[in-house]
Copies of this chain bind each other. A is one copy, B any other.
């Protein structure tokens, strides 16, 4: 029996939504599962994307054997370029997942040196003490897998993201049999997706949207425009099939839509009926009742194809009265208003909007398992230990509660972990034991210094609430006396025109602070800056109840 310990260390995605990343360590061998990103909260001002802090991996660089990807969504692969720029580790995944990764690496100029290894579901990867099998699962993206990671202490099952779709559109059934076999032989630890744990019942099959699209295709008298995620290849397939059936041609709009469909088609994952494609430049010349446009940009992102179509600023498509726009996507929390604005523009152009929940049949279905599917996963795998993953704390708690009936089937414990906590397993059992450095890295993707410091974000937040006030005091370097009345510059605080009186009083306040200071204090600029800041803060807060950022500048002239 081994005396080494197994450690399971979430580096992102537990207790937070997105940027999933998990390290699994046995002795001096580490493998990493997924390296995702997340889109920032509104309070992360000026930040475009957030990735996990990979410090733990960098510190243990020489032990890191490989990165294994479960599927190609941004919250699982979006951090890969940032991880790769720190450690050029080998990457394993299905062909489609790696094709999406390639595109991102190319953008970051990292593709040439990357070590990408395509693996098929059913195949095994051997990495030091680990043997990893990829198991096909159903999800809203094609080529998604769960992982069975065999370690000297037992098998870990990592579900990735999944739902159990009984009727997938590509007829590639969820591989229940392999999971069942592992479950029968005994599983040490199950890590399972908690995203939809608050939904009762089963998530509808991807096929559930077909009748709704059928209804739309039957009644639409002019163009049909579908906004959907470019990676939802199953959704695209259904729209293509319906278009072929109803004699419509299909144009793809948007950079990510073009590249995802090209990749999927190249890999045989998307069947494009003969002669169905319409070039974007031909849309406006085709008969409107013969046109379908599939467009990326479901979240109201300002530069996306769909947003540009909505404000009539797209070079290939101009909406007209009677066109029909379908929003076939989840609304990611925080984007409601941007999506609403986009739909208003569409409606102003006289096009009909089909969107929103509560429709039956639905125009969009989730890719994540609901409660009954989560229980099925638990019952198939029957693990000794259970760790819910991919969710906020309250979701993982609920998921752990779902597993409680398994205590009579050998479940010994469930662990609700947060990013950075270590789950340690040895021949005595499993326990939480210690922490590693984790955190988030904020990235301003357009800028050259990509990483935005926390301090800078804190300042921006302060500035965004009440603006700034900067008193400027000129000191004569020979006499040490201040020259004239201090200047004050300010923005984002109060209207300078309407409150000129306030600014004049503020100058007097600063002047008095200087006058009333001892000559000893005046020799120490740090002290003077602090005194001026404190007095001015008190004055402005009393006058306005606002707390601008105050930053006195003393200029020696």
Contacts and interface: CB of A to CB of B under 8 A. Distances in A.
A495 B336 CA distance: 33
A460 B464 contact: yes
A346 interface: yes
Interface residues of A, number: 78
A543 interface: yes
Contacts of A392: 340, 343-344
A491 interface: yes
Nearest to A416: B347
Most-contacted residue by chain B among A45, A347, A543, A544 (CB, 10 A): A347
A340 B467 contact: no
A428 interface: no
Contacts of A355: 198, 394
A75 to B, nearest CB: 15
Interface stretch (A235-243, A256-264, A545-553): A545-553
A460 to B, nearest CB: 4
A516 interface: no
B557 A394 contact: no
Nearest to A554: B487
Given A347-B394, A394-B347, A544-B449, A46 B334 contact: no
Q: Top 5 closest A-B pairs, CB basis? A: A464-B464, A333-B336, A198-B356, A347-B394, A463-B463
Given A333-B336, A394-B344, A465-B45, A491 B549 contact: yes
Interface string A463-502: 1111110101010000000011001010111110011000
A17 B340 CA distance: 10
A412 interface: no
B340 A394 contact: yes
A462 B122 CA distance: 52
A449 B41 CA distance: 29
6 contacts: A198-B356, A200-B360, A447-B545, A448-B544, A474-B557, A489-B553
Interface stretch (A80-88, A159-167, A451-459): A451-459
A45 B464 contact: yes
A321 to B, nearest CB: 11
A199 B356 contact: yes
A114 B493 CA distance: 33
A492 B456 contact: yes
Given A337-B41, A464-B460, A397 B347 contact: yes
Could you say how many copies of this chain the assembly holds? 2
B447 A487 contact: no
A348 B397 CA distance: 8
B472 A555 contact: yes
Interface in A522-557: 543-546, 549, 551, 553, 555, 557
Contacts of A352: 397-398, 401
Contact of A393 (B200, B344, B396): B344
A495 B447 CA distance: 14
A13 to B, nearest CB: 14
A474 B370 CA distance: 67
A121 interface: no
A491 B553 contact: no
A42 interface: yes
A200 B398 contact: no
B456 A495 contact: yes
A46 B464 contact: yes
B467 A491 contact: no
Contact of A464 (B334, B344, B356, B461): B461
B463 A492 contact: yes
A359 interface: yes
Contacts of A494: 449, 453, 456
Nearest to A552: B489
A154 interface: no
Given A463-B468, A464-B460, A464-B463, A553 B495 contact: no
A186 interface: no
A535 to B, nearest CB: 19
Interface string A321-365: 000000000000110110010011011100011011111100000
Most-contacted residue by chain B among A491, A492, A498 (CB, 10 A): A492
Nearest to A486: B555
A268 interface: no
Given A46-B546, A346-B394, A470-B470, 17 more contacts: A15-B344, A41-B337, A344-B392, A353-B398, A357-B357, A358-B370, A447-B545, A448-B545, A459-B491, A460-B466, A460-B492, A462-B492, A472-B553, A474-B474, A474-B555, A474-B557, A557-B557
